[in-house]
Structure 1
């Protein structure tokens, strides 16, 4: 089986995964989001913790909205420019459905930028590491768009294993490859989670899926390993191994700086951020806070004031 055949195996697995059935609430939320941004929406991907659960009760649904024009999708040339320069722009939206509130957090990005972000030439891992994980199509405009997304996510998987495998010096298993990769990508962002623990969790939650993807993805990346004793033996030379590890050190520095810039940008572009923050505070602290109009208008100051209110009411321990 050659590299092209192995890429087709990965693509076939991804295509099937994208068609999986999702929560009715996620379908409704995706339709609402698409209506809110108009005909520039090409596709909406559903991902995250709710993807494989039977309920969204007391949770926020996570989506990626892929668009033709960032300016049209964001309703502003300036916001569109920021979206292109430091993707993605993030929004929070609520939908009343059958007497309850469906909460969604979604990221907006151009479909062309999405495809480019998966390439191995891209130093930052945040996009290809995110979409090497399971996701589903909640909305897709047409077959051409579906093909672009399937190939983009296939490339995300190939890039992931292609950038992680060369860092190993000896025997590798599917678990060590995927877990280490997710651990390193978490370390390349500003994250509160324990990267070691989270890396293993991501693998264990979808073990059969990651196991099925590993070998064809490695071959598609041009890194077909030798196999011995049920383990993979890397064929990377010592020089290339040192270069791969150095590249990950650079990723960590660049990734943390980029995460910080996204946080700063988000204070001004994350529409609905204060409502989302109020919901999170109530969920985790049990303290209910009412959002005032001025807090929505001035999100940065409004967010700080919500933290102060919560602290004064004993919400933080």
Structure 2
């Protein structure tokens, strides 16, 4: 059994993505790691950063982005597919540039892949998610933050990244362009794995968080709209961290040095009152968050879109490994 890791990125260095830590977090369990690097800015050091890992497992490929051909976030899916298509493993482990796996989960992941390698009904593996927010000691579990997602798939040419690359679908006879199409697409049949993805995409200095927001808005809405929507805004306004749950577990060891660089606490709001520049969620969003917390202990998100068919759960005896909740 072979496992390939794969990812895509562009300007990961200058936008404060822990891309090196992401790759290193699963490098021990993969036979190769494909990194598709977009046309980065001249002052970005993403290539040098990844090359510094100095592993024969890592294979770099380079591509140019075309937001006109792939609008509305679909360039993310297109770039993901480019990396996926270069993989040779039986299982393909996808990590986005801000996602890291704790070392305590690696054995579980490999064992699950081995258990299911001959079960062709299973097309992918489903992971829990921890969305860190603002700093490394708070996380989001309010309404709208996805609690699970597919991150390992079979090496099947009909399985493609979908929409803006959050997930995957089976798309027979795919034209390679329309990543948001729904007709003729099929949700993957997945099995749960006792492991979590640690998502650090919302943890960076507020001024860099704002630059990342502009970059994402450009990918999804176009440059003109992105610049207009963010004009005169230089610093991202985080939600009041005093309203969020506290993370009481350990981070992946590979993140320790990265976390030591945390130096923007004076720019965060640790109270329960929002800052003047913070855009509050809608009343509906706040009501649903309260209902999910009181009645479902944040384990269920009302109306959440689940882009998968869960047909095989995990052994309940091992669920204690997911101990990140407050």
Per residue, is there more helix in 1 or in 2? 1
> TM-score over 0.5 for the alignment?
no
The two structures have a TM-score, normalised by structure 1, of 0.30
In terms of fraction of residues, the more strand-rich structure is: 2
